[in-house]
Amino acid sequence: MWIGLRRTECAVRIVLLCAITAQRYSPPTQTPQSACSWVCRVRREFSLKISLLGYYYFNRKRKPQITLIDPSEKYQLRLVDKEIISHDTRRFRFALPSPEHILGLPVGKHVYLSARIDGNLIVRPYTPVSSDDDKGFVDLVVKIYFKNVHPKFPEGGKMSQYLESLRIGDVIDFRGPGGLLEYKGQGCFAIQADKKAPAETKTVRTLGLIAGGTGITPMLQLVRDIIKNSSDTTTCSLLFANQTEKDILLKDELEEIQARHPDRFKLWFTVDRAPADWEYSEGFISAEMIQEHLPPPSDDSMILMCGPPPMIQFACNPNLDKLSYRQSQRFVY
């Protein structure tokens, strides 16, 4: 049906062009030579207009098809690839409905994955590491929390272990977009106080990002979007906390971004247990780390945080309070 409508549109345009051409060049009532010249002119102009119309029709930019049309609907996506990044980290690639589809996830938003595990419906939020520049697939980088590894969580992570168990060809439900923050570009954010509240805009010139563990994925999503737009002058400073150096997700990519864009993106790590040759910080996030590596409190800056709740509650917010950052100058994913 879509093709039929497009053909009809094209035919209508051709008829209109014929009418316009006929009006502009009415046949002369002169010699046979004049009549021949008139026919040649009409043919040349008609051919030119048909060529231009064909170029426009086949080369115009079409809007991509969006997967996440309705935030309340679930969309089954099929696992097509699984890459082992480290002993406990995987990159999962899921196919979108067609090679021309994009996910349709605004920057700052996340998706929800849901599955019935051991008879219970489990739902978890994830921020893709792919973007809407990528057609036909969505990528998730997930840390697998295995059983009997962490003494406080002997059962491990239900969703991450479920994802680890998926085989190529298996499907899982996606839903979205979700979240209370959206990046509009040029330092402008739309932020909701809660799901029912209207979004308020806030524009800043510099961002301080604090991430812990897998909380790096929304930060990377944001940094990538800012960096790829050369007209976006927003600068970013990232303080990334992990237990050990080997736990740092996407370290190579983050370091590459900093190397390529040192004036736009600054990166600093802290780990609980540092190796002997470690050149960054050691220990929990402190006021000194924030003061040294993130922008100072200002109406032109904002602090974004994503990580384990204890990190936010006991390390980030108390130290931000100590340094006089107002609540309006911070946001927790």
Which residues participate in the annotated binding site for FAD? Answer: 124-126, 141, 143, 146, 158-160, 217
CA gap 311, 37 in Å, rounded: 83
| Residue from 89, 306, 325, 333 carrying the catalytic annotation | 306
User: Which amino acid would we find at residue 4?
Assistant: G
CA separation (Å) from 134 to 26, 33, 83, 102, 141?
Answer: 52, 59, 18, 7, 15
By CB neighbour count within 10 A (0-12 exposed, 13-18 middle, 19+ buried), where does 36 fall?
Answer: exposed
| Residue from 67, 89, 127, 234 carrying the catalytic annotation | 127
Q: What is the largest CA-CA distance in the chain?
A: 101
| Residue 310 CA from chain centroid, whole number | 26
CA gap 86, 83 in Å, rounded: 9
Three-state secondary structure of 183-232: EEECCEEEECCCCCCCCEEEECCEEEEEEEHHHHHHHHHHHHHHHHCCCC
For this structure, is 150 an active site residue? no
| Residue from 75, 89, 101, 110 carrying the catalytic annotation | 110
CA gap 243, 246 in Å, rounded: 8
CA gap 214, 309 in Å, rounded: 12
E-strand ranges in the chain read: 65-66, 75-86, 89-95, 101-102, 110-117, 120-126, 137-143, 171-178, 181-185, 188-191, 200-203, 206-212, 235-242, 265-271, 281-282, 301-306, 330-332
Query: Structure tokens of 317?
Result: 């917010």
| Residue from 126, 145, 162, 325 carrying the catalytic annotation | 126
Query: Structure tokens of 294?
Result: 């993130």
For this structure, is 183 an active site residue? no
For this structure, is 127 an active site residue? yes
| Feature table: binding site | 124-126, 141, 143, 146, 158-160, 217
Integer-rounded Cα radius of gyration of the chain: 27
* Catalytic annotation, residues: 110, 126-127, 306
